[in-house]
Every structure is written in C-alpha cells, then in structure tokens.
Amino acid sequence: MQWPDGVLNPSAGDVEGVRSAPMTEPWLDDACSLVDAFRARRVSPAEVLDACIDAIASSPLNAFSHTDFDQARQAALAADVTLPFGGVPFGVKELESTVRWPYTEASLIFKDRMADHDDTLVARLRATGAVLAAQTTSSEFGGINCTSTVLHGTTRNPWNPERTPGGSSGGSAAAVAGGLLPIATGSDGGGSIRIPAGFSGLFGLKATYGRIPMGPFAGMSSLTSVKGCLTRSVRDTARFFDACNGFDQRDPLSLPAVGGWEAALGSHDVAGMTVAIIPDLETARVRTEVADQVAAAAEALAGAAGLRVVVVHPKLPPLRGQWAMAGQVGLRAGLGSAYPARAEDLSPEMRMGLEGAMQRYTLEKAASIESYRRQLNEAMADLFEEADFVMCSSNPDVAFAAEGPPPSTIPGADLIHEIGFSRAIMNNAALTAPSNLNGSPAMSIPAGLVDGLPVGLQVLAAHHREQLLLDLALVAERALSWPKVAPGSPHRSSVLAP
C-alpha cells in the first residue's frame, strides 16, 4: 500500500482506506481540533474521554501500563476549555513520574513503586488543562527501541500487530497512531521519539537538549535525553512546546523559555535554505526500499519548501559502545541499592549492558567517551556549516517483530559480516543517536509506506532551530499527506448528536 502518487498528496482526503478523522469522530482528530470543538460546544471533554476509554477497552495493542479513568472523568467534567489543552485526554509515558501513579520505569525491580510527585513536564501539562488519562508503556528504563517487557508484555503497532511500534516511547506511539488517545508524552535519549514516530506514521520532534526541563531530580550523566511528545499534527507539537518549555530551577541545564511556538507556525520562510539528502547519513545501513522512499519524500519536501539541495558528506564517527556505556551511569545511579541485590529482575539486555559497563568503565574508557563526543560535535558542526537541514531515514527498515529484539540485519545484507558485530547491533540507533549526543534538534515526518508499514523521514538541524523544523514540518504536512491514525483504528459511533 502506498500513499497516492507514492509520496505527494496535497489534499487531506482518504488514503487507501486510511482517513483523516472527521469531527463526527473527534477523538481521532488532533488535540488542537478537540480544544476547538470543546470551545464551540460541539462535544464535551467527558464525551471524548468516554470514547477514548471505549476504544482503549477493546484495543489489542497493549499500549498502557496503568489507567486512571475515575480521576480523568473528574478532570474532564471540571475542564477549563479556555486553557491550551483544556479537556484533552493525554497519555503519559511510564518513565515520567506522575503522582499517585505507578513509577515502575517498566522494570520488575520497581514493580510496586508509586510516584510521590509530578515531574516538571507533567505538572506543566496539568496547568494547561490536560486530562491525564493513562500511562503508556515503555521499554525497561527506555533502554531499547522496541516495547516489550516482562512487567507489561508486548506493545503492538496499530499498522500491523505483529510488528513493534518502536521504543522506548512505543506505548505512546501505539496509543496515538491507534486512535486511542490524541496525544502522549515521549522521551528521546537515542531516538526514542523519532524511532516510534517513524514506525507508526506520526510526527515526532526531539528538541535541543534542555528545551523541556528534566526535573525534579534531573540526571546529568550522559546529557542525551530530552522530553517531548508523539502527535498527529505539527500544531499539536507546537502547542505542547508552548506549554512545557522553559527554565526550571531543578534542572540547571534547562533553557530559558521561548514563547509563541504555535503562533509562529508558518511565519519562517525556509525557501532558499540548503538541505543535504542522505538517506543513510553515511553512518548506517538502510534497506534499499526504505532509502528510496525516504529520498523521494525528501526531494518532494525540498521542492515544496523551496530548499536548495546540496551535496554533503557528513564524516560522522561511527556509533560505538561509548554512547551506550555513558548511559549506564544514570541507570546505575537510579537503581541505587537495588543493584546488584536484584540484578536477576533486570531484563537480559539491561543486565548485560550494566554488567559490561561495570567491568569496563575505567578512567581510560571514560576518556574515550569524552574524546568520541568531541569528535562527533565537531563533525556535526561541520555538517551544519554546509547545510541548514539534513534529511535521512528515521530507521534502517520498517518496524520489526513486536517482541524484538532489534535486528542486526536488514533484507539483502548480513551486517555482522559487513560492518562487524558491535556496529550491526548499533545500526538501529546509528541514524538517530548522533543528534542526542550532540544535543541538536531532529524530527521524524511520515514519508509513505514500504510493505504496508510507515517510513519516517528524519530532518536534522543545528541547535535551537526547532522553530524552523516545525515550519518545514508544516510544509510537509500539507505536501506529504499523512493519515492521523492507522487503518483499522477504532471507529465508534459518533458521540455527537446528528
């Protein structure tokens, strides 16, 4: 199944049975449309929440680790719809602390832990009127890019339940693309917003490091993870950033507030700016069909936006174990006295990574991590001196098996023999992790289908250029038509009067 003309479709009509939700099914539209409908009294927050609850009850996707429908109904009935997200049902990723909800981080080790505070992000969403309805599943501690854990089982992709929605924000992606909730939070330490967005046909923006605070109790080990959201539309993401960005005293590395994200959409003319189209970023092995689809979408977007295509060779250092090992510092700190006492309750991947880091994390290894990061930062700076934007694939292939593990091969290539075991294992993150290590923004835009599954077009930009990325995404939203929800998502009877 392909979108019309393979890529281009300037209308917002049906897409081979996949349709943009009309307002007779408002929970299948974007969050901003819901707020408009609430304010116009076409539908109430309580009615939309009930429709979402019905959809969740019959869903086979396993997108949620906890629901709080009683509290959500109270919030929906009392919703102030004049607020930016007044009355909108939200999903919150289970790596976020939400008071009186479980705070397991998807691990057996913390299966009985309850949150005693709201993270800054969660508190800011409450202040904008968001109705926090359910907690979305994650991979354990956000460690791998599929969402399947001993604690919660396997989360499935609404485009094909045999495939993963990605990770670690897989539950959020499944919920939003599956027509269960209009918007959900995510986090991205190596691609965990962009990878699920690419696998699930959604829009996902990884911001400049520090844009949205990590506090309270902000970790400062690998300096790679950022907070964000999975959405059906560009304006939903812009409104989310209006609500959640800005300095917080409990995260000293957070950035000063920037206002007007939604109001400024479409006001920055990107015509004449430069773009390099490099499907594999010259750092990963990408399946041929995916690379071709990404290149076609990139060329179509460059044409629609008036970008000037330039030839650039990134010269990024290959992703190696330094990135993964640096992340183990924060994991070890978070485990506290539970490690090694309860090491057997960790997944094999987490246990193997932590044990390996404990054995090898020497002063010499720490120095090599710092050296690698400096090399990468210089290469990224060189890259953005040659091009304003870089377009590549969000993932090496379409979504893999729901249970995982992430593959070390792609069709037609034996990566272990071609590039070695360690680089083959890193191949699934080689496209996304450079932006995390560098701290610069990047986004995934739906770019069509391969084998009936979504492909994501990733766009990279220099630090603090999220607004330009959003404006470019707005062009893409109009030129590269994408459905708001996956085919087969719940289409219940209308909650509106005829």
Section 406-413 average pLDDT: 81
Which pLDDT belongs to residue 357? 79
User: What are 108-155's pLDDT values in tens digits?
Assistant: 999 999 999 999 999 999 999 999 999 999 999 999 899 999 999 999
Q: Is there a domain that residue 3 lies in?
A: no
Tell me how many domains the chain contains: 1
With vertex at residue 193, the alpha carbon angle to CA 188 and CA 198, rounded to the nearest 5 degrees, is 145
User: What are 237-261's pLDDT values in tens digits?
Assistant: 999 999 999 999 999 999 999 999 9
Q: CB-hemisphere CA count at 13 Å for 134?
A: 28
Distance (Å, rounded) from C-alpha 314 to C-alpha 386? 9
Which pLDDT belongs to residue 420? 66
Paired residues of 18 in beta bridges: 15
Calculate the average pLDDT of the chain: 90
Q: Is there a domain that residue 278 lies in?
A: yes
Q: Is there a domain that residue 457 lies in?
A: yes
Q: Is there a domain that residue 258 lies in?
A: yes
Give yes or no for a contact between 65 and 135, defined as CB atoms under 8 angstroms apart: yes
Section 10-19 average pLDDT: 33
Q: Is there a domain that residue 13 lies in?
A: no
Which pLDDT belongs to residue 366? 82
Section 425-440 average pLDDT: 92
Q: Are strands 308-309 and 226-231 parallel, antiparallel or unpaired?
A: unpaired
Q: What is the CATH number of the domain that holds 31?
A: 3.90.1300.10
Run of H or E residues at 132: strand 131-136
User: What are 382-407's pLDDT values in tens digits?
Assistant: 999 999 999 999 999 999 999 998 88
Rg for the chain (alpha carbons), in Å? Answer: 21
Distance (Å, rounded) from C-alpha 27 to C-alpha 43? 10
* Residue with more model confidence, 6 or 252: 252
Which pLDDT belongs to residue 323? 67
Question: Sorting pLDDT into bands at 50, 70 and 90, what band is 23?
Answer: very low
Task: Give the domain extent around 385.
Answer: 26-479
What does the block give as tokens for 96? Answer: 């976020």
Measured in degrees and rounded to the nearest 5, phi and psi for residue 183 equal -160, 150
pLDDT at 9 over 70: no
Give yes or no for a contact between 403 and 148, defined as CB atoms under 8 angstroms apart: yes
Q: Is there a domain that residue 181 lies in?
A: yes
How many percent of the chain have pLDDT more than 90? 76
pLDDT at 495 over 70: no
Q: Is there a domain that residue 493 lies in?
A: no
What does the block give as tokens for 249? Answer: 């005293």
Q: Is there a domain that residue 491 lies in?
A: no
Q: Give the range among 21-30, 45-54, 197-206 with minimum mean pLDDT.
A: 21-30
Question: Sorting pLDDT into bands at 50, 70 and 90, what band is 19?
Answer: very low
Question: Sorting pLDDT into bands at 50, 70 and 90, what band is 14?
Answer: very low
Section 302-312 average pLDDT: 98
Reference 227, options 201, 208, 200; nearest CA is 208
Reference 36, options 89, 85, 91, 90; nearest CA is 85
